Amino acid sequence: MPNKLSDVKMRKTLTEHKSVIAVLGKIAREKNMSLMDLMREGIRNEIRRYAENERAREAVLNVLKDFEPVPENEWSSPAELAKFKRKQRCFDRLILDLKLKTPDNIEKDNSAVPSSAEIRVLEFEEYHA
């Protein structure tokens, strides 16, 4: 018995995939960008569109939470801290690019001290004596 697909199922052939990639390559060349950049742009646009409602946005953020850089309890060197901060900035740019949070939300999430807290300098004279 042959392997028949019902009318509602579609099997994507290698030819179809190659054809779509070829068309995307042409579009990318016309836009003077790489094929990967064009696909990345399309994927990000789809994520933005999907995350327009609050429930979907929370679902996307929940998935991304597994990829968020986690700070160490103690840094072994300034280079390690710099590496973490670089990863955190990159992650924050992604969140902003996907329009999942506002800059104020990201600042609030990343800050150890709330912006409404009063700033006090202790032992000021020790540093400026």
Residues 63 and 125 both lie in one domain: yes
What is the model's pLDDT at position 26?
A: 96
Residues 66 and 46 both lie in one domain: no
d(CA 71, CA 58): 22
What is the model's pLDDT at position 11?
A: 66
Residues 61 and 45 both lie in one domain: no
Residues 119 and 74 both lie in one domain: yes
- Quote the domain boundaries for residue 20: 15-50
CA atoms within 13 A on the CB side of 41: 10
**Does residue 3 lie in a domain region?**
no
Query: Using one digit for the tens of pLDDT, what is the confidence trace for 21-58?
Result: 999 999 999 999 999 999 999 999 999 999 999 999 99
CB–CB of 59/47 below 8 Å? Answer: no
- Residue among 59, 67, 57 nearest 91 (CA): 67
pLDDT at 61 over 80: yes
Per DSSP, the three-state class of 23 is helix
